[in-house]
Each structure stands twice: as C-alpha cells, then as structure tokens.
A and B are shown apart, each in its own frame.
Chain A
Amino acid sequence: MNSRKVKEFVGFAILRLATFLILSALFIILYFIIIRGIKVINWQFLTHKPCEGMTSGGIFPAILGTFYLTLCAICFALPLGVAAAIYLVEYARQGRLVRIVRIGINNLAGVPSIVFGLFGLAVFVKYFGFGVSILSGGLTLGILILPVIIRASEEAILAVPNSLREASLALGATKWQTIYRIVLPNAIPGILTGSILGIGRAAGETAPILFTAVTFYSAKLPTSIFSEVQALPYHIYALMTEGTHPETQIPIAYGTALVLLFLVLGIDLLAIVIRRRARRRKW
C-alpha cells in the first residue's frame, strides 16, 4: 500500500469517527433521559398536579400550559408567516424592498431567544398590560417562530412549478384565484412541515417565556389567556434550580424532560416524514 492510499484511509477513518461521535452524542442524551425518565412516568404523573412543594405528584399543568402557549404562538405566526411568504414569492418585485425584508427575516431568526423574552416583557407584559400570561408568552413565541414559518412556506411556494400557474392564468383565472386554488393547495405539505417545525421550536423554548408567561407553581389551572401558566421547559429548569429537595425533584425533572423530548422530537419527526413524502412527489 503506498502512502497516498494510507493517507486516504486515515482521513476517511477520521471523518467516520467524527460522524460517529456526533451520532453518539444524540444517543447518549436520549439514552439517559429515556432510561431514567421512563421510571417516573405513569398515568398519574401525566394527569395530576404537583403536590407537597413540587416533591411529588404529576406535571399535568405544565403539559397543558405548554399546549396553550404553543397553540397561541402558532395561531399568531402561521397566518402571518404564510401571508408574508405569499407576498414575497408571488407579488413582490425582486428589488430593494424585498431585499430589506429578507435581511429582516434572516436577522430576526438570529436574535437570541432571551432578547425576545425582554421584548415580550417590555411590550406585551408591560406596555400592552397583558401581564405575565399565556397571551404575552404565546405572542413572544409567535414572533420567535415567524422566520421559521416564512422560510419554509416560501420554499414550498417556490417549489410549485410555474407551468401550473401559467395554465391557471391561461384559463382566465386572476392572480389571486391562481394562488388560492392552484399554488396554495400544492404548497400545503411544505407549509405544514414549516409550521410543525415551528410548533416544535415554540414548545421547547424557555428563555422567551421566562418573564412573559410562566410560574413555578399555580394552584389552579389557567382559566383564560390572561392567566399565568406552568410550562414543561420551565418546569425542568425550576425543579433543578429552585427546589430544596434534589433527591425527589431530579427524578421528576427526568420525567418532565422525557415528556418534553417525546413531544418535541415527535413533532420534528412528523415534519421530517411529511417532507420526505412531499419530496418524493414528481411533477
């Protein structure tokens, strides 16, 4: 074997090792959280409130809170994001304005999540007076996932072949009729993927809801969108940092982390499957 072949062999081995390390990181994280989390999860854990100062009981209020926050975020971001994508792809002339809008979207996506939290605190909680509530937290999360939804929808709309649009216009349909009847139905799988990824992202975020929506413990379940809530990600953080009984709280945190992971990764997996199916489609 000459030295060039040896080098190639060693090089490929290094690449394989690096990839193996990346994959094992994921499996190690999943392994510990699944093995230790599964022990505490049972029907009661999922359907009951915490009790005895967070040292026992379930996490139902946190599950419900995360559901409400995510629902609020997606109700806000989905219509806006899809409409923005329609405008950018179908209507806007590719000029300076569109470039500025695109820079805006890119940079909005890069803003640290804690900064969104401060924005939500100053605007929704204080200025609009929504208080620490589902509404404030949901809107903050909505702004956070807006770029995700716009980008995915744009991609989906762009992927609809022009021949379909031209055929519709040739039949005498207006631009809007074409978008509504031809482009959107064909772009649905892509838009769905984007929104699902957005949901996954919103469900897992902690920093933006820290000052806008969550509480460590609330005696009753939320009654309106102006109630403060418990949420799964914050629950993990609070159990690890605010409790006085780590020996009973860490197992609960494992259980909560497993529920959150199951939820978020399940959502992501769903998005990946839908995208694969959509890509397989031939025009």
Chain B
Amino acid sequence: MTAAKVAAGRSESGVLDRVEAARRRRPKLRDTHITSAHGAGGKATATLIDAVFLEGLRNPLLEPLEDAAVFTVDGTRLALTTDSFVVTPLFFPGGDIGDLAVNGTVNDLAVAGARPLHLACAVILEEGMAVDDLRRIVASMARAATDAGVSIVTGDTKVVQRGRADGCYVTTTGIGLVPADVRLGAARARPGDAVLVTGPIGDHGITVLLARGELDISADLSSDTAPLAELTSRLLEAVGAPADGPGVRAMRDATRGGVATILNEVATAAGVGVIVDEDAVPVRPTVRGACELLGLDPLYVACEGRMVVIVAPEVAEAALAALRSHPLGADTAVIGRIADDPPGMVLLNTAFGGTRIVDLLVGDPLPRIC
C-alpha cells in the first residue's frame, strides 16, 4: 500500500528491525518529575530504576534486578529482599495491607529459591488513623507470618501529618536460606522450556480495583494473596534447580504489571522469545468480565499469590504434578513455551487464531473510552 510514498529502501521488516534495535538500547530517563507511571511496574519503572538506582548504586548483586539478592556468608547462601506496600483501600476482600506485606516479601524470597527465615517491618502511619485498624492489620500480619513459618523480628514506626499518607504504608524486609544446589534466574530460560502459571490470574488487581468502590461494579471475588514458600519448596524438592541439567530455571511472583511483565522480563533477560497460548491462560470468568467492561487486559493485572515458573521440558510434567499437588498450585497450567525466536519478545497466539505481541506497558494500563 502506498509504496510510492515510502522512501526508497524502506520496507516494513526493515523499519521493524530498526525499531527492535532502538528497543534494545538502554532507555533514557527524560522525565524531570516522578509521575504515577514510574510506580506501575512497566517501562517507566524499569527506566527509572536503571537510570537512577542502578546508576547510583551499581554492584554485582543488584545488577540482575531479581526479586531477591542471593549471596554467601561464611558458606551459607542467603537471600535478602524488601518491598513497600501502599494499597488503597487498606482492607479488601481476601486480605489487607498486613498479610499482603508479609506474603509479598515471603514470596520474593520463595521465588529466589529461599526458605524464608525472618522479616523486618517498618510502618508509616498517618495522623488520625484508627488504632483499631492498626490492630487489625498487625493481627493479620501475625497470622500471615505464622502461615509462612516466619517471624517478624524487628521493626520501625513513624507518624506523618494528616494527608501525608493513605492511612498507613508498610515496608517489609526478609531474609532466607537458599539451598546450595539451587540456581535460579530469569536469564536461565532456554528455548524449549515450558512456561507455567500456578493458578487463575488477575484476582488481586481486580479485587482491589473494585474494592475502591469508584466503579459501581460489584463481583464475588477476593484477593489471591498467599505465601508461596511451601509451594516453591515442594517444586524444588520434586525437580530441583541445578546449575547444569534440567530443572526449574526461574520463578517469579506475578505482582505489579502481571504475568505479561514477568514474561517480558524473562524474554529480555535470557534473550529468548516467549510464546503464549491465550486459550491456556487461566482467568476466572469474573476477572475476565470485569476486564472486558473496564478495557483492561488480565495479563497485566496484579496477582499476589501466583507465580510464573519456567522449567526444562524434561521435567515439565513432574513440575506440573508437584505444583498441582499443593492447594495454592491446584490450578497450575502450562501457558506457553520458550523459543529462540523472536528474541526479547513475548508473542501471544490469540484464542481467535491470530498472533500478537504482548509488550511491557509504559505505566498503568489506561482504560479505554468506548
């Protein structure tokens, strides 16, 4: 079409190759101020982390940007991670900021292959917050910690003026033990590997969105927030994650940015293609319905108790069986595979029989007008 309009030598595939080359270049941070997009877990977040944090703090443990840093102290392998929680509302169906904060950090340790040991917890409270609410949150933290087999062993409390925080913010930091023979990382994905997701996606994100009460949509849905350490250790016991040979290659909990963001991180880190079959991705009808109404794609909606697992083809069946044997992995599904082409990209075979890209979003998914 309109070939005459196109400068000599420009073909669609030529242009797309140039686009891919541009995408591989390190993104530049052009923003002069922080916007909400920088907190959404997509491209804007990645650019900010790269340009400000990695640039200022660069070291070999930070550089892989995994969910937790893994290092050795006196022959013991430790995993260390931290996460802040700023959810509105503080209480939502299926959980609250308390268990979310414990589970989130437990899960970042678990997907690094670690057995979580201890947590630290810092809270920032807003003047005027009800002490009863705080009690409820702490009780829920205690329950989540017990469920995950960890203790909260140290902490900090600060209070800010009214209007300076949304009720309360919570930061948790966790430390865990990593078995000597476990080697995990998004960069370890290889063509032929299977891509698994451990249950229906998007429950948490849609639950919280609806719980804000701004949309006049109600649904019987609750957050999937849960500690994944038992599930990951059962998986690692079954198939292992050896440095050489078949096993689990990578695990990631699909929080902010959803499954799509994780898959893009894998594609980029390992320089592989990720091929996903839309039909195979588990999504509850309620979540699908809400996403249809709101113009959102469930692949980008946050989960708090689901992970993406990349596993060698030889042990994929065994991994599936191990995950399904645990209640938190009962609905595990194989959603796709790793391919050598197209490198750095996630492709979706749509249920309609077509193909499209699943890219990183810039910021939060924006609802469409009509």
A and B together in one complex: no
Taking Cβ atoms with an 8 Å cutoff, the residues of B that contact A are none
